[in-house]
Amino acid sequence: MLKKILIYCALFLSVITLSNAQTVTHTFAFGDNDFLLDGKPLQMISGEMHYTRIPREYWRERMKMAKAMGLNTIGTYVFWNAHEMVQGKYDFTGNNDIAEFVRIAKEEGLWVVLRPSPYVCAEWEFGGYPWWLLKDKDMKVRSKDGPFINAYRSYMLEVGKLLAPLQISHGGNILMVQIENEYGSYSNDKEYLAQNEKIFREAGFDGLLFTCDGPSQMPAGYLPGFLPAVNGEDDPKKVKDLINKYHNGKGPYYIAEWYPGWFDSWGKPHSGSNAEADAKKLDEVLSAGISINMYMFHGGSTRDFMNGANMSKSEPYSPQTSSYDYDAPLDEAGNPTAKYNMLRAVIAKHLPQGQTLPDVPGKKRMTFALEVIKLTGKANLFSNLGLPVEAEKPMNFEDLDQGYGFVLYRTTLKDAVNGLLKVKELRDYATVYLNGKRINVLDRRLKLDSLQLSSPTANSVLDILVENNGRINYGPYLTDNRQGITDKVTLNGQELLGWKMYKFPFTSLAGMKYLPAQAGDEITQPALYRGTFSLRGLGDTYLDMHGFGKGFVFINGHNLGKYWQIGPQQTLYVPAVWLKKGTNEVVVFDQLKSGHTELSTFDHPVLNEVQKD
């Protein structure tokens, strides 16, 4: 009996010990010059990683790489449109499990700076806003507009339920939380910024809040009373002068976004930075005692249809690539680069005496090229139309209750005609067919919205397949982000009426009917090409998209993202965790080229190969 009592007592004490270990709290505060963790200076050396861009199975591995480079903090946005794809239905599971991402960071000894915003920019579709906000054509995002604020508040309350308990003052590892994001690039409504604070507090974020803006944005984007973190400036004196100006002549000093790399846009060369120059600049910043967040430490991939686009009054519409490699210290597949090693060496110089960095984890899986994959099935889009929505005038995606993917617009030309076909306010890319034959493409990126059309016979069928190529994520056009044919179609100035609209959101590929694929197929129509391949061992690989036109790829039900022959990205990264031993399935959609029967792979990425359009 005594033995049982002793066992129960030991178990009880173990539970109490574990419980106490889980509820240990710290203090985190702003000092005059430094961040103060439990009253002692903490210099944050942070790196940005986005849970949505990294397979969940690799979160911990990437964090171990961050720790080995010398980072003590991870920065991440929270992506509203990933968590509420349908209004009122929230998804924080699987790759959207942001709370687990934060908990893993804690287990790996990393603090977190959380950026729910909810506007994120991030080269992410609509800057992180959910597409369904645009179903209300009068709604103004990023404003005090009532319907927007109500939707925003409901979402943030859900975020708060999961993440507010993970703040440092509650025993978690979230040091501080950002409200809004570079708001000074968009507007200067201080009442709107103050509304953000109220929503965040109501959601349970009772710790330290901060804003972040570039130097020219700060006068409009800073909300008095908060720490004004700096984006895009890495001169230590200028950083300190800026923060002193807006923060009562004192710190702490924090660069919220420092760019040791840059993102890519379709049709433009691969971006990057000089690793030696980056290392020198990091040394200067750390020597000055400034905390820093490198954007990005690891970019990963923008999968599904979530790539964004830039556009301004001086810059035409410019959609971004699926690869978010960013020329970051850790590449798209999570491998350390030469830049990683240089920055690691700098950080090691600034460690407290007696501390050393962990060893860099060894590579755990191979990267390889597969044998050529045979594409044996073909599903022509025009043979898989389903039931249309019919209306006199073409309807945009939002009015069709569709966020992403494609819509096929079809009408019949009653008379023979020869003239100018114009799609007014096309968003964003279209292939045009007459009686099933492609006659041209239209591209918002090139301001190409018209073509010469010749229909020599009556009752010809006109098809316009329109793709959402990525909603604008930055700048003044956020409120003008509806997709599809958003105005009208005219032929020789006369509006065309009587439309059938076939929806292809491609959230899954179920229900498509395949026929045998044939080489030399000259019918240039959009189609899905399906094949299978068998694996005995697993490893990362890269699909070689040379020879394909424009589209996307699914592997084993996972949408890998978009490809486009114009580059610079010519490969799609396939993480090993999305492959399986035995039979695997691949499906390629191509809207520009046809007759595909094979798909090759590489053991390396091709990210800097621009081709003529």
Q: What is the 3-state secondary structure of 8-53? A: HHHHHHHHHHHHHHHCCCCCEEECCCCEEECCEEECCEEEECCHHH
Q: What is the CA radius of gyration of the chain?
A: 26
Token output for 15 = 């539970």
Taking the mean position of all CA atoms in its chain, how far away is CA 271? Answer: 17
48, 123, 125, 182: the active-site residue: 182
Q: Cα dist. 472→83, 316, 428 in Å?
A: 19, 11, 11
Q: Is 473 helix (H, G, I), strand (E, B) or coil?
A: strand
Q: Considering only CA atoms, which of 165, 25, 154, 146 is closest in space to residue 90? A: 154
What are the beta bridge partners of residue 462? 411, 434
DSSP single-letter state for residue 329: S
What are the beta bridge partners of residue 420? 452
Distance CA 311, CA 289 (A): 36
Distance CA 115, CA 177 (A): 6
Beta strands 45-48; 291-294: pairing state: parallel
Residues ≥6 apart with Cβ < 8 Å to 30: 36, 208, 227, 251, 252
Question: DSSP letters of 81-136?
Answer: HHH-SBTTB---SGGG-HHHHHHHHHHTT-EEEEEEES---TTBGGGG--GGGGGS
Q: Considering only CA atoms, which of 142, 92, 138, 99 is closest in space to residue 117? A: 142
DSSP single-letter state for residue 361: P
Element (H, E) at 491: strand 484-491
84, 125, 257, 398: the active-site residue: 257
Asked if 182 is an active-site residue, the reply is yes
Asked if 390 is an active-site residue, the reply is no
DSSP single-letter state for residue 217: T
DSSP single-letter state for residue 150: H
Under a CB-based contact definition with an 8 Å cutoff, are residues 549 and 565 in contact?
yes
Element (H, E) at 158: helix 146-163
Token output for 325 = 């490699």
Give the residue numbers marked as catalytic.
182, 257
